[in-house]
DNA sequence: CAGTGGTCTAGACCACCTC
DNA sequence: AGGTGGTCTAGACCACTGA
């Protein structure tokens, strides 16, 4: 009868152990985790099995291997990871450093849509943050960001203004929340007055609307944002496999 | 001294052998390749080494494993692969089958841009194809597709009109060209008269412009297309990892 | 049942980094 | 020199498929 075989290979159980250890921050972002040999001993399995578990975590961008040095917890504070999820590129392919400029921030209660996507009760506290991303000093992205209030308690615009680096690096450092993966939904829309002003374009200019839902460990959604991208000399880059 | 160590592990050499075998169509799309044991014997390596080579080809979507049955060459003619590279989804998440409707097709000489992206000489023959994608009978995507003329010789609109299935399935079946990966560049633009008419929207409606460069084996570009997507009730879906 | 991919082990050795 | 990840092997056994 249609029962689920529920066969769980050993390396997946090891992976789950590593995942929960990461989740409770047994090793800090940027730090090395124990060596494969050491983990194999700790869990009572062979090194090859630990290796296969780590393989999957590396494929999911939670860990990075460095030959001869060790395996490290990925951190958004690593300069190479600063804008890891930002797919905006110049049309000529040149790389431009982005700068985040906070605009305003307030607290509110979750409406129907926010409560649904963030999987929190309606009326639960949310933090709403608006900011602009500048590329070579041109404002190109206007973001409106919704955060669950209980995870981001006493979020302060002042602390953010002093921050050098990406927003996710800030979240990781200050709130211990590591963004692990995200889903984006893109549409073309006409700029309203607010977006037009923030981005220095005329009203009704076509903008790329990028709706992003970001997850931390174990598929828990912890950020929802709407981004309005001005794509005159820039584009959103994507690879399909 | 900055010399390249150029250490090539055995399994990568095996992978390369498999790749060239795939490229010269030693095994047809949809067919099984020899078993891991058999390949190990043929190449004189252990099964684990063959396995690791296949692992990478599976990760690149060139092969699929089916436990107990074998390892198969991925085919765009597999119904589950029909619109593998199409990221358009309904806003409510429901799955809608797309239908391709060819409009017109003509031959031309490669201009500066086409020659650059397709890596062919300027003036080399290209086939230009325009078609519309319909979702539940609504035209939602207008595609203008550039193909290198030497690869797609005697491309005929008549044969395409009779075809049931995706364009890439057609290319694979008729021309032996398998699309392996693609890069997309997205912008928001205003609909011109032609796009507006084809998609049944008013002129200057914001559209998603999706420029796609598609590659076959060994990173050889074989298709360039510009797609205009009407994203009123639909969106382009993307996962970031 | 035989044949396939999938897992797990133990051990040897290689490439790379740091001291 | 010693530690780390990376490769390769050989063999045993498990899970799944289809005749």
What pLDDT digit, counting tens, does each position of A164-216 carry? 899 999 999 999 999 999 999 999 999 999 999 999 999 999 999 999 999 99
Residue A40 has pLDDT above 60, yes or no: yes
Chain B, nearest residue to A86 by Cα = B240
> How far is B48 from B37, CA to CA, in rounded Å?
9
Question: Distance from B197 to chain A by nearest Cα, in Å?
Answer: 18
Mean of pLDDT values over A152-156: 93
B3 pLDDT band (50/70/90 cuts)?
A: very low
Burial class of residue A61 in the structure, from the number of CB atoms within 10 Å of its CB (0-12 exposed, 13-18 middle, 19+ buried): middle
Q: Is the model's pLDDT at B2 over the cut of 60?
A: no
CA B239 to each of CA A52, A138, A230, B184: distance values in angstroms, whole numbers, following the listed order: 24, 27, 21, 14
Give the model's confidence band at A43: pLDDT under 50 very low, under 70 low, under 90 confident, else very high.
very high
CATH topology of domain B10-73: Arc Repressor Mutant, subunit A (1.10.10)
Instruction: Tell me the pLDDT tens digit for each residue of B39-90.
Output: 999 999 999 999 999 999 999 999 999 999 999 999 999 988 889 999 999 9
CATH class of this structure's domain B79-236: alpha beta
Q: What is the pLDDT of residue A2?
A: 39
CB contact under 8 A, A235 and B186: yes
- The pLDDT confidence band at residue A153, using thresholds 50, 70 and 90, is very high
B237 touches A: beta carbon within 8 Å: yes
The C-alpha of B164 sits at a distance from chain A's nearest C-alpha, in angstroms, of 23
Q: Please name the residue ranges forming H helices in B119-221.
A: 157-162, 167-175, 193-199
Mean pLDDT confidence for B98-114 = 96
Query: What pLDDT was estimated at residue A126?
Result: 98
CA distance A195 to chain B (A): 14
Which residues, numbered 87 to 146 in chain B, qualify as contacts with chain A under a Cβ-Cβ cut-off of 8 Å?
87, 89, 91
Tell me the per-residue pLDDT of A57-88, one tens digit each, with 9 for 90 and over: 999 999 999 999 999 999 999 988 889 999 99
Residue B199's pLDDT band (boundaries 50, 70, 90)?
Answer: very high
Q: Nearest-CA neighbor of A30 among A67, A93, A79?
A: A79
Separation of B9 CA and C13 C1' (Å): 13
Nucleotide nearest to B51 (CA to C1'): C5
**Taking residues B17-40, what's their average pLDDT?**
97
Q: How confident is the model at residue A5 (pLDDT cuts 50, 70, 90)?
A: low
Give the DSSP letter of residue B32.
B
Predicted pLDDT of residue A6: 76
Residue whose Cα is closest to the C1' of D2: A68
Percentage with pLDDT > 70 across chain A: 98
d(CA B185, CA B194): 21
Position A1 pLDDT exceeds 80 = no
Q: What is the pLDDT of residue B228?
A: 98
What pTM does this model have? 0.95
Task: Report the 3 state secondary structure along chain A.
Answer: CCCCCCCCCHHHHHHHHHHHHHHCCCCCCCCEECCHHHHHHHHCCCHHHHHHHHHHHHHCCCEEEECCCEEEECCCCCHHHCCCCCCEEECCCCCCCEEEEEEEEEEEECCHHHHHHHCCCCCCEEEEEEEEEEECCEEEEEEEEEEECCCCCCCCHHHHHHCCCCHHHHHHHHHCCCCCEEEEEEEEEECCHHHHHHHCCCCCCEEEEEEEEEEEHHHEEEEEEEEEECCCCEEEEEEEC
Please report, for chain A, the start and end positions of each structural domain, with discontinuous segments joined by +: 10-73, 79-236
pLDDT of residue B4: 56
Euclidean distance between CA atoms A125 and B235, whole angstroms: 29
The token pair that represents A24 in the structure block: 């409770």
Which residue is associated with the tokens 């299935």?
Answer: B165
B181-190 and B206-216 strand pairing: antiparallel
Put simply, the answer to whether B241 touches A87 (Cβ < 8 Å) is: no
pLDDT of residue B5: 58
pLDDT value at residue A4:
56
Query: Could you tell me if A206 lies within 8 Å of chain B, comparing CB atoms?
Result: yes
**Span B146-170, mean pLDDT?**
95
Q: Is the pLDDT of residue B36 over 60?
A: yes
Residue A229 confidence (pLDDT):
98
């Amino acid at each position: 009868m249609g029962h689920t075989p529920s066969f769980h290979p050993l390396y997946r159980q090891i992976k789950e152990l590593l995942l929960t250890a990461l989740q409770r921050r047994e090793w800090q972002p940027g730090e090395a985790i124990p060596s494969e040999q050491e983990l194999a001993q700790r869990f009572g399995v062979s090194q090859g099995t630990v290796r296969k578990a780590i393989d999957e975590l590396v494929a999911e961008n939670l860990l990075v291997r460095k030959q001869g040095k060790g395996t490290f917890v990925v951190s958004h504070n690593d300069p190479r990871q600063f804008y890891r999820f930002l797919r905006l590129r110049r049309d000529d392919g040149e790389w431009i450093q982005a700068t985040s400029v906070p605009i305003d921030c307030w607290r509110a209660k979750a409406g129907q849509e926010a409560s649904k996507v963030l999987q929190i009760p309606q009326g639960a506290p949310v933090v709403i943050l608006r900011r602009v991303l500048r590329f070579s000093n041109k404002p190109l992205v206007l973001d409106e960001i919704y955060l669950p209030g209980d995870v981001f308690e006493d979020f302060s615009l002042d602390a953010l203004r002093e921050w050098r680096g990406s927003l996710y690096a800030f979240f990781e450092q200050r709130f211990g929340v590591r963004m692990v993966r995200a889903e984006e939904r893109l549409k073309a829309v006409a700029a309203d007055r607010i977006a037009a002003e923030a981005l220095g374009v005329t009203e009704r200019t076509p903008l790329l609307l990028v709706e992003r839902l970001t997850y931390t460990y174990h598929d828990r959604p912890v950020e929802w944002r709407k981004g309005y991208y001005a794509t005159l000399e820039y584009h959103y880059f994507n690879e399909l496999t």
